[in-house]
Amino acid sequence: MRVLILGGTREARDLAAILVGEPGLAVVTSLAGRVRDPALPAGETVIGGFGGVAGLRAFLRDRAVDAVVDATHPFAATMSAHAVAACLGPGGTRPGDARPGGPGEHQVPLLRLVRPGWAARPGDDWHRVADLDAAGARARELCPPGGAVFVTTGRRQLAPFAVDPDRRYLIRAVDPPTGTLPARHTLLLDRGPYTVDGETRLLRDHDIRVVVTKDSGGDLTAAKLDAARTLGLPVVVIDRPAPPPGAPPSRPDVPAILADLRGLPHKGAPDLP
Ligand code: NAP
């Protein structure tokens, strides 16, 4: 059985670590190649994208892939949509569906591993918004001119903050940002995991008034939320994009995906842990 993991998350690495070395199972993880020094999963990796839906479809066919696990980041909406289109064809389907694809279409079971989003706790002052543009606008409402905003939404699409000449922006990203940046900004190149103590110190040192984050979920970058709560700071939280039309229901963690993989009808399916 051949499994392709669409990666770029800790969950994808955890899954690869379990599946690699399973007798009768071949696993390959794909990465977009966005970061210069990615955390590599165990086992084979392919880096750099497939070349759209057609490229992914060709990969599945050429490598005789039996199942795909979309374990990409919850905000990697394009890759998830491509996975649905390439694996399931128009309309999508679910593992276990008997519905055949279009004429000559090769369907591949698709599983989705999506870590749960963060939930506000007592004492939090969260402001949920739909997208980065709305996040920029909300941050400007919450932060007085001259104040500082901590932006942790990644190195791309910083234009919604760049329109503001009046506030200071502390931008943290793994690699240097692309595109237009705010006139008054400080760049911090770093990657998690972060500690609450470290995040609290950072927010204090930069006199941060507002924190901006995607609802990424998971432990690796959650410390900033605890730090913001401790300091009584508002947090602008960007909601996740909707799942692509036709996507199968998502599973929250690696054990649930392993259970799904075990249940796939396939000759020679291994005894998964
Ligand atoms: P995206 O916008 O959904 O995808 C853009 C293109 O990047 C895709 O069409 C595909 O290129 C390529 N790609 C994305 N993920 C891939 C993967 N796992 N394997 C192979 N190709 C991939 O993706 P994104 O939001 O830029 O995220 C890129 C990667 O970073 C993902 O692996 C994601 O898990 C990880 N990541 C994203 C975020 C985030 O906030 N978006 C945060 C942390 C980690 P082709 O069309 O050429 O196949």
Question: How far away, in angstroms, is 73 Cα from ligand 1 center?
Answer: 8
Distance of alpha carbon 81 from the chain centroid: 13
Q: Which residues contact ligand 1 via a Cβ below 6 A? A: 6-9, 30-32, 34, 49-52, 55-56, 72-73, 75-79, 82, 154, 214
Cα 72 to middle of ligand 1, angstroms: 7
Q: Of ligand 1's atoms, which has the minimum distance to the CA of residue 51?
A: 47
CB neighbour burial string for 212-240, b if at least 16 within 10 angstroms, e if fewer = bbbbbbbeebbbbbbbbbeeebbbbbbbb
Nearest atom within ligand 1 for CA of residue 49: 21
Write out the chain's pLDDT in tens, 273 residues: 999 999 999 999 999 999 998 888 999 999 999 988 999 999 999 999 999 999 999 999 999 999 999 999 999 999 999 999 999 986 555 554 444 444 445 689 999 999 999 999 999 999 999 999 999 999 999 999 999 999 999 999 999 999 999 999 999 999 999 899 999 999 999 998 999 999 999 999 999 999 999 999 999 999 999 999 999 999 999 999 999 999 999 999 999 999 999 998 765 555 666
What pLDDT does 24 receive?
A: 87
Residue-level pLDDT at 21: 84
* pLDDT score recorded for residue 89: 82
What's the CA dihedral at 135, 137, 143, 148 to 10 degrees? 60
pTM, rounded to two decimals: 0.93
